[in-house]
Amino acid sequence: MSVLDLLLGERQSLIEKRLALHGRVIAADLAAELGVSEDTIRRDLREMAAAGLCRRVYGGALPPAAETTFSERTGTNTERKDALARAVVPFVAAGSAIFLDSGSTNLAIARALPADRQLTVATNAPAIAAALIDNAGIDVIQIGGPIDRKTGAAAGAKALLDAEALRPDLCILGACGLHPDAGVTAFSFEEAEFKRFVALRSQAVLTAVTNDKLAMAAPYSVVALSRLDHAVLEADADGREVEEFAAAGLRITRAALTAARPVRRTRNNATS
C-alpha 123/C-alpha 141 separation (Å) is 6
Say whether residue 149 binds its own copies (CB under 8 A). Answer: yes
Does residue 119 contact residue 97 with C-beta atoms inside 8 Å?
A: yes
Burial class (CB in 10 A: 0-12, 13-18, 19+), 132: buried
Say whether residue 264 binds DNA (CB under 7 A). Answer: yes
List 59, 75, 137, 146, residue binding DNA (CB under 7 A) = 59
Segment contacting DNA by CB under 7 A, of 28-36, 87-95, 105-113, 172-180: 28-36
What residues from 93 to 132 belong to the interface with its own copies (CB under 8 A)? 107, 111, 125-132
Q: Exposure pattern of 24-58 as b/e (b: 16+ CB <10 Å)?
A: ebbbeebbeebebeeebbbebbeebbeeebbbbee
Does residue 201 contact residue 168 with C-beta atoms inside 8 Å?
A: yes
Segment contacting its own copies by CB under 8 A, of 31-39, 59-67, 176-184, 217-225: 59-67
Torsion sign across C-alpha atoms 67, 185, 139, 78: positive
Neighbours of 155 (CB within 10 A): 29
The residue count for the chain? 272
Say whether residue 147 binds its own copies (CB under 8 A). Answer: yes
Say whether residue 57 binds its own copies (CB under 8 A). Answer: yes
Segment contacting its own copies by CB under 8 A, of 31-39, 90-98, 141-149, 224-232: 141-149
What is the contact surface with its own copies in residues (CB under 8 A)?
A: 5, 7-10, 12-13, 16, 20, 24, 26, 47-48, 50-53, 55, 57-60, 62, 65-66, 69-72, 74-76, 78-79, 107, 111, 125-134, 136, 139-147, 149, 152, 154, 158, 162, 261, 264, 266-267
What is the contact surface with DNA in residues (CB under 7 A)?
A: 8, 11, 27-28, 35-40, 42-44, 46, 56-60, 264-267
